[in-house]
Amino acid sequence: MRATVWPGYAGVAMLAMLAAGPAFASKADAPVPGRTVALMREKGMAPGAGVLVRVFKKEAELEIWKQRADGRYALLKTFPVCRWSGRLGPKRKTGDRQAPEGFYDITPRLMNPNSAYHLSFDTGFPNAYDRANGYTGSYLMVHGVCSSMGCYAMTNAGIEEVYALLRDAFRGGQKSVQFQAFPFRMTAKNMARMRDDPDIDFWRQLKAGYDRFEATGQPPRVTVAGKRYAFTPYRDRGLEAQATTRLHAEQEAIARQIDDGAPSIRITYADGGMHPHFARMRNHPSLGIISRPEALAFAGRDVIIRPGVRKAPPVMVAQGAVSLTFARLASGPGAGPTALRLPATDAQGALPTSPSARIALAHDGARAAMASAAPTVATEGAPTPVTGAYAASLTSAMSSWPHGVIAMGPSAP
């Protein structure tokens, strides 16, 4: 009796699986989830429209951007990365466990529906930049599970949705998908804080492409020149103007961050990182085997290697109103002038453009000009030179004053 019941149950179960089978004949053919399809409709994106992928190591996040009806790419969805390996910085050689950074092109032939890691697509490493610099390595993937050896591991559920979005874009006619891999979100603050890292020159190259995309919503036109990333101007002059404006604004913003006292840091990694979402559930059986879990103990911690120094505000030298305190000092005991007149300077045309250099020049120039000029006191008539022993002692004292003493604007008497 029991022998007849169990086979019958198994047969019913198998028939149910076969009945449901056509829609999920292969995990590579699983549809994009309904909630994501609804999100696309909400954002004006067609299911077969083009996509672009961005990944950030420090934040352990992968973004899918999708083209809207107006041709501009917009963020569709952000996925947590379960595991990446290595540290911040590019991959340079086989076996260094580094996940790649840079700009890559994913084509349909790099999609792997039969991956040993559920599903995967190859990042395209090495690209032209990597080859020009002699970097080696292969089969660096975005895949399922939560184990990495130079890859970005998304878990099986994560890679299924990401894979489906790329697959549908290819079916919609997209020839290649740009894959942008960054060490961190390339904000002015992060660039200022990482300014002493050995890889900062490489990251500045990536930052140029990052800013072009942020400004225009169009994939940057990537090329390689002199073993460095370079970016061909957009054909549309309006887009290129947007990109140029953004690039200049970000350079100013980075300089301001440094001027405002941003510290120089490094970020600790023994072997890669993990998104906090998965870190909270790292012992859950659904994640399976996690590569080198012991290496995550101190991952992603900021360590200050050089404290920042906040610079004082810039000082105007020529024809400026000097603080009331300084004017009274310059006038000598018992006098009460309202302003100290300084000789005009023609150095304005030679001022540098960066905030950091401008501020340094302002401090040094103000001190030198005020120390070398014969102080004069403004009275109701013509300026009266301050002479005698008091003027000599004042001039001597000014030459040794710290930058902060020479300040503009109101102050306590």
d(CA 139, CA 149): 10
**Bridge-based pairing state of the strands 152-153 and 83-84:** antiparallel
DSSP H helical ranges for 24-155: 34-42, 128-132
Angle formed at CA 401 by CA 408 and CA 374, multiple of 5 degrees: 75
State phi, psi for 299 to the nearest 5 degrees: -75, 140
Residue 95 — left, alpha, or beta (φ > 0 → left; ψ -120 to 50 → alpha)? left
pTM above 0.75, yes or no: no
Q: What is the pLDDT of residue 314?
A: 66
Query: pLDDT tier at 315 (50, 70, 90 boundaries)?
Result: low
Q: Would you place residue 24 in the very low, low, confident or very high pLDDT band (cuts 50, 70, 90)? A: low
Would the pLDDT of 363 be above 90?
no
* pLDDT mean across residues, the chain: 81
At 357, the pLDDT band (50, 70, 90 cuts) reads low
Encoding tokens for residue 210?
Answer: 């990052």
95-106: per-residue pLDDT in tens? 999 999 999 999
pLDDT digits over 141-160, tens only?
A: 999 999 999 999 999 999 99
Contact between 165 and 64 under an 8 Å Cβ cutoff? The reply is yes
Tokens representing residue 268 in the block: 């600790």
Per DSSP, the residues of 151-210 read SEE--HHHHHHHHHHHHHHHHTT---EEEEEESS---HHHHHHTTTSTTHHHHHHHHHHH
Confidence of residue 282 (pLDDT cuts 50, 70, 90): confident
pLDDT of residue 386: 46
Q: By the 8 A CB rule, do 112 and 26 touch?
A: no
Q: Calculate mean pLDDT across residues 41-51.
A: 97
All domains in the chain, ordered by first residue:
21-306 (2.40.440.10), 324-405 (no CATH)
Residue 311 amino acid letter: K
Q: Which of 90-94, 366-370, 371-375 has the highest mean pLDDT?
A: 90-94
What is the predicted pLDDT for the residue at 404? 39
pLDDT: which is higher, 284 or 208: 208
CA distance 271 to 51: 30
Identify which has the larger pLDDT, 125 or 342.
125
pLDDT of 307 higher than 50: yes
Instruction: Write out the catalytic residue numbers.
Output: 143, 151
Three-class SS of residue 146? strand
pLDDT in tens, 162-186: 999 999 999 999 999 999 999 999 9
Mean pLDDT over 299-309 rounds to 94
Predicted pLDDT at 313 = 73
